[in-house]
Amino acid sequence: MLAWRLGTGFDLLAYSYLAAVSVPLTMVDLAEQRLPSVVVLPSYLVLGATFAIEANLSSNHVALVRALVAMAVLAAAYLVLALGLGGLGAGDVKLAGLLGLALGWLSWGAVLAGTSAGWLLAVVVRVVLRLARRADPDEPLPLGPYLAVGALMTIAAGPPA
């Protein structure tokens, strides 16, 4: 699906990698409610290097700068949320920066759509679990899987400009 949406550009490698690492990140977060840095941090290097190569090949340096700014903005916003409201862990903050890098390469609209989709998915799941009496009000909900799915859905569906 990513190849159909993105074509055969070098950035397909970055998004394929992101989709691949999202699987173990989701599994660990659902099981242990943590996002391992040993997976998240190297992913910054893989995506960043891939986007840098693509920016040089396609002379699309604007997209690279936007991706880096989006990474910083999302990481900072999630850090503020984590420190101010609680409920978010360091793994969520690191994952937000990584997803900001991936979504920012596409557009600011993609950053907004992908982030919103992730939060919306988390809210819908939480409401359904509460209505089905399968989750206590104080039970934490791992956010990483929903953030990753929201970002990947946005990437695969074709983000707004």
Return the sign of the alpha-carbon dihedral for residues 158, 125, 75, 99: negative
* Closest-CA residue to 104 (of 69, 79, 139): 69
Report residue 8's pLDDT band, with 50, 70 and 90 as the boundaries: confident
Return the sign of the alpha-carbon dihedral for residues 122, 43, 29, 142: negative
Q: Is the pTM of the predicted complex or chain greater than 0.85?
A: yes
Q: Of 8-12, 55-59, 71-75, 99-103, where does mean pLDDT reach its minimum?
A: 8-12
Q: Which amino acid is at 96?
A: A
- Distance CA(95)–CA(5), nearest Å, equals 23
Q: pLDDT tens-digit profile of 100-143?
A: 999 999 999 999 999 999 999 999 998 898 888 777 777 778 99
